[in-house]
Structure 1
Amino acid sequence: MSANDEILQILKDALERAGSVSGRRMFGGVGVYFDGIFFAIIDDGVIYLKTSEATRPVFEAEHSRAFSYMTKNGSAALHSYWRLPERLLDDADELTEWASASVAAAKHAASQAGRKAKPARVAGTAKRAGKPKT
């Protein structure tokens, strides 16, 4: 069992009463889903949780950092996912709170993505009611 698999099991245990947690391999790490909602990344045995404007200050107070990765052009960061403080791996109750807040942030982000406005129609493309095409 790899370090990522062990960490995934810790998240599964933390959220088992609330819903289904699953992992999918992605780019050498693991994408973690709660009832189909992507809420965490596990990379090199480290958990990065989805954050929001409301939850990010808690991560900052813990001196956490955003998920970063190397590209061919150098380092890049994904600022919506922040490292879970290691101390929480030994505190099941607090880990559950943080993971639940991350799931809520992911659900909120997903609902906002679905609300994006449809592109406006180009003038003259709407059909005129009651007039047949000629």
Structure 2
Amino acid sequence: MDKPVLKDSLRLLSSLGKITSRSMFGGFGIFIDDTMFALVVQDKLHLRASDETINLFKEQGFEPYVYKKRGFPVVTKYFAISPECWDEPDSILIQAVVALDVAKKDKEKQKSAGPSRIKDLPNLRLATERMLKKAGITTVEELKNTGSVNAYKAIQQTHSSSVSDELLWSLEGAIKGMHWSVISAETRNELRKQL
């Protein structure tokens, strides 16, 4: 049961900001201002590592948390601190500050990088991603380079059933980063003319 370790961890780390926890990875994620930087699982506190701190954590004997997903092991960037560290809470706090900084930077990188898969773009789902893949468009970059009209035409050529104009608006919105319903009537007419 992770509850005592979770309580001790929350108490110790609360000086870093507004702290919360929620169930995840079979344990509890610890967040400061909605940024997860620590994990309590298997009665151990795990701190987020970066490419720079992984070796330091390994040198200190910290082990990464590994869980199974669909039967395969997944190694996380969360490393269990050794029980001896609890004898020096200040050292945990120092490492937690670094872990929080790493997590915040990673979160910012993810925000600025944008979606990595087509289905993650606005308006698009897995079904649309599959349609585009069948039409030869497999990445977000390819979709943007192809443009909504040409992507729509490619889908029309590879699918026996007719596709609606809404798909064209959805593709345009996905490329522009907006919901298809806010695409102006003028833009819709321009797109339709290009078909």
The answer to whether TM tops 0.5 is yes
CA drift at 1:110:
0.4
Structure 2 distance, partners of 1:27, 1:80, is 12
Which residue number corresponds to residue 123 of structure 1?
146
Tell me, in whole angstroms, the C-alpha distance in 1 between the residues paired with 2:48 and 2:4: 19
- CA shift, 1:124, in A, is 4.4
Question: Could you say which residue in structure 1 is the equivalent of 2:80?
Answer: 83
Q: Equivalent of 1:105, from 102, 105, 128?
A: 102
After TM superposition, the score normalised by the length of structure 2 is 0.57
Measured against aligned partners, the alpha-carbon deviations of 1:30-49 in whole angstroms (never above 9, x if no partner) come to 11111110112211211111
5+ residue gaps, structure 2, are 116-139, 150-171, 173-185
CA RMSD of aligned residues (A): 2.5
SS at match of 2:55: helix
**Do the aligned partners of residues 68 and 35 (structure 1) sit closer, same or farther apart at CA in structure 2, a change above 3 Å counting?**
same
What TM-score, normalized by structure 1, do the two folds share? 0.80
In structure 2, C-alpha distance between the alignment counterparts of 1:59 and 1:124, rounded to whole Å: 46
Sequence identity of aligned pairs in percent?
19
Higher relative contact order (CA 8 A, sep 6+): 1
Corresponding residue number in structure 2 for 1:92: 89
Please say if residues 25 and 67 of structure 2, whose CA atoms lie closer than 8 Å, have aligned partners that are also in contact: no
Structure having the higher Rg:
2
Measure the CA separation in 2 of the matches of 1:60 and 1:114. Answer: 29
Runs of 4+ in 1 over 4 A off after TM superposition: none
Q: 1: distance between equivalents of 2:70 and 2:4? A: 30
Partner of 1:43: 41
Identify unmatched segments of 5+ residues in structure 1.
Answer: none
The structure in which a higher percent of residues are strand is 1
- Which one-letter code corresponds to 2:36 in the other structure? F
